[in-house]
Structure 1
């Protein structure tokens, strides 16, 4: 797990933590401009409880990194356009108290503020943010290790199942062959039974014919015969 010193010194480690902007509000409420996106230098300094000069020094030393995380400097027409947008978002009499920079305005986003928290050494608030980040990293790693352990256990079980299936394969093939043989024998038996049924039907027909002939003979035997005539 990375340490606080590593976080202060390694830009690559800071990049990995840039998605955790939610940590800022867990430590302290961050006052945003009316658009809900940007923060002024004064408000960032107030958040970290440091002077604006201390904040500007950190910003200047790591300007490329911070610009990659949303830091922007507005001048001229861009600045005037931004002020108009902010005034249109400000409600009621609050618009009159909106501070308008005369010549230029440096704006931070939440990502930029989190970037500052991972660089500012003189602020207790920044240290607290770093502690939250590292604790969250530790919790995430513990959950990852637990998940990895469970997946490894499942893989071991599946490996055992695979071995069992390999051993069961020949048995299943032999059973399949026996079932096929039984199916063939059963089919032959059905054919024999069908032939026997036909033969029995023929026999029954013959029996009925014999029975009918015997009935005729018996009937003739019962009939009276005329007495012989005397000559």
Structure 2
């Protein structure tokens, strides 16, 4: 972005390029107000999005219509009751089908009604995009303020850091492709190793954090303690128990190559296939996810202790 350009909340509403630069920063949504995503689908219905931004649904529909092409590219799809049923099968989520719609009871306070014709669902990127476009929503204004804080903080240190992560990843992938095309095995191995290190950078940072890893607030290899942690984990992130486990399994596979679903006789719970020397990796993955959502890790684990008492 040009140095002379002054970035404001209003300029974000009017500037397509600026929105594209910030669209990956979906973490600000939970900073402003807790998102309640549909279990197993990682998306929200149009009514949920309207509730999040505290606007009436007609206002949201007008915003979506004016910016249809832009928002759809971020992930807006129509899902039918059958899709919901298939994705939520086996989850502890009550479903009731009647003649006109499917009723889903997400929790005590959240009930979704999915018409038989289907309903539009929005990804987190699409939800953030809407926040950069809604002019009169106080929640949307706060979302833009959080994004501006990111811009200002990063620009103070080093302006190119706004897109550095994306640029670095593209360069590393290009290096792998070039080495593969030329058949240089040593160059390919070096490029692949560099890319792996780039993907692990967040875990590596946590592994060097003695404050978190030597706190001795958790012994999750104990099954009762582990179940207590996962229940708290799901509750803290406002997701179902099943989604919490799916998130854990996915990150274990991505971060450490531990694919529990391919072990043993493949019967649930897959966590039973964790080896004794792998529990520290389970803890590190949980810590990484909690940090991503700005949860105080030490307080989280302390609250899971059997001796913990609410104040």
User: Which TM bucket (shorter chain)?
Assistant: 0.5 to 0.7
**DSSP 3-state at the match of 2:89:** helix
Please say which structure displays the higher CA radius of gyration: 1
Greater strand proportion: 2
Does 2:123 match 1:123? no
Contact 1:35 1:89 in 2 (8 A): no
How many pairs does the alignment contain? 142
Residue of structure 2 equivalent to 1:83: 84
Residues 168-187 of structure 1 correspond to what in structure 2 (within 5 A)?
Answer: none
Residues 57-136 of structure 1 correspond to what in structure 2 (within 5 A)?
Answer: 57-74=62-79, 79-88=80-89, 90-91=91-92, 94-96=94-96, 97-98=103-104, 99-136=113-150
Across the aligned residues of Structure 1 and Structure 2, the Cα RMSD in angstroms comes to 2.0
Pairwise CA distance, 1:36? 4.5
Greater helix proportion: 1
Residues 1-231 of structure 1 correspond to what in structure 2 (within 5 A)?
Answer: 1-74=6-79, 79-88=80-89, 90-91=91-92, 94-96=94-96, 97-98=103-104, 99-144=113-158
**DSSP 3-state at the match of 1:31:** coil
Task: For structure 2, list consecutive stretches of 5 or more residues without a partner in the other structure.
Answer: 1-5, 97-102, 105-112, 162-311
**DSSP 3-state at the match of 1:100:** strand
Contact 1:34 1:89 in 2 (8 A): no
Contact 2:41 2:87 in 1 (8 A): no
Q: Distance in 1 between matches of 2:28 and 2:41?
A: 17
Q: Distance in 2 between matches of 1:7 and 1:34?
A: 31
Contact 1:70 1:108 in 2 (8 A): yes
Q: Distance in 2 between matches of 1:114 and 1:128?
A: 12
**DSSP 3-state at the match of 2:115:** coil
